[in-house]
Amino acid sequence: MSKLRGVTLTFSFASPGEAVRFLEVITKVLGGKVILGEVKGDKVKVFIPYSEDYRETVRKIKLLYMEVRNSSRVGLRRYDLATVLSVANLEVAIPVQALIDALRLSGRKASVEGSVLVTDAGFNEVVRLAERVSLRYSEAVRAGLPAPLRRLAAAAAACANLSVQEVLDVLEQKGLIRRGDGILPASTLEAIYRELEEMVSSGSGR
């Protein structure tokens, strides 16, 4: 029997738990790709068999490693958006701007440069927030909200640990929206955003 040929990569982490998480992430992102992963203490060994696209698999794994390791650095980090959204367990697909709004509402810096998310939040924090936004965004879709309000309500609900309905109730009490409103002018959206900032920072919609 011929020996299996391929490339072996070894990655080091701060703890065994971080190593296990990394192996889970690359397994999910690569989907059906054939790789062999093994955790030994705070290290992960990954074997990628030779194939027509093995170089692309190696590139993706190295990119993931850089993103996960960047999470521990101080200051702004750069994450591939497609990677973040593929790692997250999303209830429904979310607009990138909804994730940006959620990060900003939670007090994080966040912007997009092409296909890259620039933020001071850690990788795992961004993934978890994307999952919460997705859950609330599905509620906003069912509520039939206009797109900008749907995005903002989902982001605020995810940050403040409220339902979308609770967020809408507050906005209605403040006179910022009425049920059945269609397209909202920019000035109204700005006022809504300011109210949501206050709601999230106070930790309550009341």
Task: Please name the residue ranges forming H helices in 31-163.
Answer: 54-70, 81-87, 96-105, 123-142, 147-160
Decide if pLDDT at 111 tops 90: yes
Q: What is the largest CA-CA distance in the chain?
A: 75
- What's the CATH superfamily of 1-70? Transcriptional coactivator/pterin dehydratase (3.30.1360.20)
Question: Mean pLDDT over residues 110-129, rounded?
Answer: 92
- Render pLDDT for 143-161 as a digit per residue (tens, 0 to 9): 888 889 999 999 999 999 9
Residue 54 clears pLDDT 90, i.e. is over it: no
Domain boundaries of the chain, sorted by first residue: 1-70, 75-206
Which value, to the nearest 10 degrees, does the dihedral of the CA atoms of residues 148, 146, 132, 22 take? -60
Check residues 186 and 181 and name the one with the higher pLDDT: 186
**Confidence category of residue 77, pLDDT binned at 50, 70, 90:** confident
pLDDT tier for residue 119 given thresholds of 50, 70 and 90: very high
Which residues neighbour 124 within 8 Å (Cβ) at sequence distance 6 or greater? Answer: 21, 71
| 2 band by pLDDT with thresholds 50, 70 and 90 | very low
What does the alpha-carbon distance between residue 119 and residue 155 come to, in Å, rounded to a whole number? 16
pTM here is 0.74
Sheet holding 43-49, edge to edge: 6-12, 43-49, 36-40
